[in-house]
Chain A
């Protein structure tokens, strides 16, 4: 069953704008990870946030985690055309931390 669900399913923005994607999940987690996928290629890990962390930054990426609401957001600031890709959240459950459950992703289009 799906654990992480991303919102929106698709997002189109102008270059230079910020992009925000949300992820909701159902059960307690050990950590939450965000991945990026360029069209038809393998996923690339972006950032991992542990359940005891609330916010994390990496370059133009900012991730927040609210365990009380079982939700996370990924913010990409000053977007570039090269950021066009699909973005997936993946949750590592507390009861089976070896296993990552992926959501169905947000397709981001950054228009030049």
Chain B
């Protein structure tokens, strides 16, 4: 089954403790992206990657890192999480330009 898989589904952590949210897709998509969703603000893009070893900042990249060493994986790294990064995070991927995005089921992160 074609899918985008994120882990974990829920994560509670403390300020400053490094964490990684994994994302994997099995559709051989070149493009992958991370979004955060906050009430009243819709989805905002954090980082995206157009191919292996190619990553770029989205609208809200501060406090986040990503890597794209393999086509299928695009982990999101929070080196020193802060409470304002408490949010619902989504990974998404797509094939050719302008084709629809496929989303993972989300990771709800709480930073205390």
Chain A positions near chain B (C-beta within 8 angstroms): 1-2, 30-31, 33, 35, 40-45, 48, 88, 90, 92, 97-105
Contact = CB atoms under 8 A, between A and B. Distances in A.
17 contacts: A1-B59, A30-B98, A31-B98, A33-B100, A35-B101, A42-B4, A42-B90, A42-B92, A42-B106, A43-B90, A97-B98, A98-B31, A98-B97, A102-B42, A104-B40, A104-B41, A104-B42
B82 interface: no
Majority secondary structure, A binding face:
strand
Contacts of B4: 42
Majority secondary structure, B binding face:
strand
A48 B106 contact: no
Interface of B: 4, 31, 35, 40-45, 48, 50, 58-59, 88, 90, 92, 97-98, 100-106, 108
